[in-house]
Amino acid sequence: MIIFRYLCRELLFATLAVSAVLMLMVMSGRFVKYLAEAAAGDLSANILFSLIGYRMPSFLELVLPLGLFVGILLAYGRLYIESEMTVLHACGFSERRLLMYTLAPAFMVALVVASMSLYFSPTGMERSSGLLTADKSRSEFDHLVPKKFVATEGNRAVYYADSLSKDKSTMHEVFLAELGSSSAETEADQQIVILAREGVQEIDPDTGLRYLVLRDGYRYEGVPGQRDYRLMKFTSYEVQLEVQQKRSNWGDRMEATSTLDLWRSDMPQERAFLHWRFSLPVLVMVVAVLAVPLSRTNPRQGRYAKMMPAVLLYITYLVILQGVRGAIEDGKIGNPAAIWLVHPPFLILGLILLGGGNWRRRPKRPSAEQSGGSADA
């Protein structure tokens, strides 16, 4: 038990450290993407951290298997470099026992990955999708950034506000340019430019439509390059605002679908996604078997000698798994259960790398009394 606790502590510590670094890299990249959208006015800044929190389980389900794999390589590689593993093997500690001790913490990680992939990840994706839907259903003017020209959806208009009120309900010194209908005489597009002292949003209680109400301004309409411009001064001018439509993404919908709904579905694409979710915990156990023999390191070679080949093997495993899932989704493979055929070859490879001689339990050395008795005989 002392050796078991020692190996588990070293392994879990390395796994947590690697997973934390990988999560920081993934989440920082995603956060930068959301931050750029918020700076461009396409996303509300007050939902950034909520989106990151809801997306975290979907990041963990892919980061933890790699973190465990690299953690085993680092932890056991250190034991080989410092000759601790050599001492254990000299005392009769076989590769089989090392594998069994490794599978215990790997099973704990597999349970965490299973909970993420089967429940927390689809739940988080559903809630993040709800946040994005509510945010995208708002008008473009809700994401207005002062002193910046912003194009509406479809590039049908460009608007600008010099400043906003503290509650962001009133825009001051508003500029709005929109593309009007074609002129019958010139067959050119008319341009409409509106300048107003302030603008506010109002919602029609009967229809629910949004309107931008501009006050104290001028409206210019005409074709650029011609003189027949029409000028109109107004006290109040209303412009109907278009509501952005959320772009549907098939992959996001699949990730947000609950495991129970996927189980009840007969569609090959959804069945493939269901098998993918159940494959992730199995992936954890298989990579644990692969990492044990790959962690063997010669002290003369260095601690990171086998790190690159091992990571390439893991990437190959994951790419093949995702490729089979993509082939099932595209209809190239008819049976969704074909994704399970990817695991056995890598499991067999891990058992082969363990080696027949190191896999068998080493015979116990005879005791002093037994050796003395045989000598007397």
Residues 31, 127, single domain; the answer is: yes
Same domain as 120, residue 42: yes
CA dihedral 299, 305, 309, 312 (to 10 degrees): 120
10 and 82 housed in the same domain: yes
Task: State the Cα–Cα distance between residues 96 and 354, nearest whole angstrom.
Answer: 9
Q: Give the pLDDT confidence of 108-130 residue by residue, as tens digits.
A: 999 999 999 999 999 988 888 88
Q: Are both 85 and 172 inside the same structural domain?
A: no
Distance CA 173, CA 195 (A): 7
Sign of CA dihedral 338, 316, 118, 129: negative
Q: For 25-59, write each residue's pLDDT tens digit.
A: 999 988 888 888 777 666 777 888 888 889 899 99
> Of 209 and 52, which is predicted with more confidence?
52
Q: Is the pLDDT of residue 102 over 60?
A: yes
Is the residue at 145 inside a domain?
no
CB atoms within 10 A of CB 275: 19
Nearest by Cα to 257 from 269, 242, 240, 241: 269
Q: What is the mean pLDDT of residues 353-371?
A: 53
Query: Same structural domain for residues 5 and 60?
Result: yes
Examine the domain organization and report whether 31 and 135 are in the same domain: yes
Do residues 341 and 303 share a domain?
yes
Nearest to 214 by CA among 236, 242, 192, 240: 236
Residue 204 lies in a domain: yes
Instruction: State whether 275 and 194 are in the same domain.
Output: no
Residue among 90, 93, 72 nearest 306 (CA): 72
Q: How does the average pLDDT of the chain come out, rounded?
A: 80
Identify the domain containing residue 189 by its residue range: 154-240
In angstroms, what CA-CA distances link 305 with 297, 300, 302? Answer: 7, 10, 6
pLDDT of 357 > 50? The answer is no
pTM over 0.85: no
CB 278 within 8 A of CB 116: no
In a domain, 374, yes or no: no
183 and 209 part of one domain: yes
144 belongs to a structural domain: no
- Is the CB of residue 26 less than 8 Å from the CB of residue 63? yes
Number of domains comprising the chain: 2
Q: Please give the structure tokens belonging to residue 209.
A: 């439509």
Q: Which domain-ending residue is among 240, 258, 283?
A: 240
Which amino acid would we find at residue 299?
Answer: P
To which H or E segment does residue 33 belong?
helix 2-39
295-342 pLDDT, tens digit per residue, is 887 777 666 667 888 889 999 999 999 999 888 888 888 888 889 999
Domain match, 223 and 275 both: no
277 part of a folded domain: yes
Inter-residue contact 171 to 198 (CB < 8 Å)? yes
Residue 159 has pLDDT above 90, yes or no: no
Higher-pLDDT residue of 154, 43: 43
Question: Closest Cα partner for 56 from 33, 31, 35?
Answer: 31
Tokens of 195: 């300048």
Instruction: Name the nearest CA neighbour of 201 among 219, 233, 174.
Output: 174
As a whole number of angstroms, the distance between CA 168 and CA 180 comes to 28
Q: What pLDDT shows up at residue 248?
A: 46
Query: Domain boundary residue among 240, 257, 284?
Result: 240
**Residue 27 is assigned to a structural domain of this protein:** yes
Residue 148, domain member (yes or no): no
Lowest mean pLDDT among 64-73, 262-271, 280-289: 262-271
Whether residue 61 is found in the same domain as residue 208: no
b (16+ CB within 10 A) / e for 149-174? ebebeeeebebbbeeeeeeeebbebb
Both 212 and 189 in a single domain?
Answer: yes
133: pLDDT strictly greater than 80: no
Residue 247 has pLDDT above 50, yes or no: no
